[in-house]
Chains A and B, each alone.
Chain A
Amino acid sequence: MIAGFPDAQPIAGLIGGLMIGLAAAIMLLGLGRIAGVSGLAARAIGLSASGPPHGVAIAFTVGLPVGAVLVALLSDGIPATFPAPGLLIVAGLIVGFGTRLGSGCTSGHGVCGLSRLSRRSIVATALFMGSGFATVALMRLTGMI
């Protein structure tokens, strides 16, 4: 617990982050690939001309819910609160289009690109974080949340 931020989960966040980084390291050193979820998911369903063999992309993508459900079974469940379905559909469309146009998301640009000190990824991460901050601020200003 951090003073002033009663809801923060720094230890769980750090442990989960280490697992995510290790997963990305296995992808890099094992298969020579970036563990970028948007690119691999697009590749898995045939919406990307480049990337690893389809089997690899499908296996990684399927692994995500498998790992999550294993953790949920071993713990007391994973709490999650979702926005309304209408918002989710709008957000999903925007996220799908934007991540492909920008060649990456939080995993590819954020985790893999930042740690590589890639200038493209540093710019992309700064921009999607900045526009995320601005979007939520606007939602608060307009009373949506």
Chain B
Amino acid sequence: MMRIIIALLSGALFGGGLAISGMADPMRVRAFLDLFGAWDPTLAFVMGGAMIPMALAWMVQRRVGRPFADRAFALPDTRAIDGKLTLGAIVFGIGWGIGGLCPGPAIASLALSPAAAAPFVLAMLGGMAIHHFTIKS
């Protein structure tokens, strides 16, 4: 139960941060990617702001043996920079540019602009399902 509450709190804080920062507005996100249009640097401030608590958190993580509410850290340990990583990132960037939405803002927008966000989120889950059933991990 404790873990569920922590995850819900983290998700809500994350979603609130997305809403405050303007990242729930696809046109603002796309304006960051629009170097030859009316470029909007807001996204860089969001990323910069998010780096501060997380850089501190990684310093703490290296000094503690286990997380507060679980037995052990379960963190990605893959080091290979392979075709899946590079191709996946490039493909994701294409969709991000077209829609101005990445997964976090899209899901958060389900509560803010449900009619507009739902088609994207459903298609995104469809894309995840296609990956799940076609690509071996």
Tell me if A89 and B120 are in contact (CB < 8 A): yes
CA distance A70 to B110 in the complex (A): 13
B75 touches A32 (CB 8 A): yes
Residue in contact with A80 in the complex, picked from B11, B24, B99, CB distance below 8 Å: B24
In the complex, what residues of A have CB within 8 A of residue B38's CB? Answer: 7
Contact of B127 among A29, A63, A95, A134 (CB under 8 A): A95
Known contacts A68-B112, A89-B120; decide if A22 and B13 are in contact (CB<8 Å).
yes
With A and B bound together, what is the CA distance between A40 and B82 in angstroms? 22
The B interface, classified by DSSP as helix, strand, loop or mixed, is helix
Partner of A22, one of B43, B53, B106: B53
User: Could you tell me if B47 and A17 are in contact, using CB atoms closer than 8 angstroms?
Assistant: yes
Given contacts A13-B45, A88-B99, A136-B30, contact A27 B7 (CB under 8 A): yes
Q: Nearest-CB distance from A84 to chain B (Å)?
A: 10
Interface 1/0 per residue, B82-104 and A, CB below 8 Å: 00111111111111111111111
Report yes or no: A17 in contact with B102, Cβ–Cβ below 8 A.
Answer: no
Q: Is the CB of B85 within 8 A of A20?
A: no
The docked-state distance in angstroms from the alpha carbon of A52 to that of B71 is 12
Closest to A33 in B: B74
Closest to A116 in B: B58
The reply to whether A98 and B16 form a contact with Cβ atoms under 8 Å apart is no
22 chain-A/chain-B pairs, Cβ below 8 angstroms: A7-B38, A13-B42, A13-B46, A21-B50, A21-B51, A29-B64, A32-B74, A33-B67, A37-B14, A64-B11, A69-B112, A71-B20, A80-B113, A81-B25, A91-B98, A92-B99, A99-B102, A100-B128, A102-B85, A105-B92, A120-B76, A131-B93
Query: Please, what's the 1-or-0 string for B60-78, where 1 marks a CB less than 8 Å from any CB in chain A?
Result: 1100101111101111101
Q: Are A128 and B66 in contact (CB under 8 A)?
A: no
A29 touches B54 (CB 8 A): no
A24 to B13, CA, bound (A): 9
Instruction: Write the nearest CB–CB distance from A102 to chain B, whole angstroms.
Output: 2
CB-CB under 8 A from B17, the residues of chain A are 15-20, 22-23, 67
Residues of A within 8 A of B52 (CB): 17-18, 21
Q: Which residue of chain A has its CB nearest to the CB of B67?
A: A32
Q: A residues within 8 A CB of B73?
A: 28, 32
A81 lies within 8 A of B26 (CB): yes
Is the CB of A143 closer than 8 A to any CB of chain B?
no
Partner of A61, one of B3, B26, B107: B107
Contact between chains at B18 and A20 (CB < 8 Å): yes
B6 to chain A minimum Cβ distance, whole angstroms, is: 4
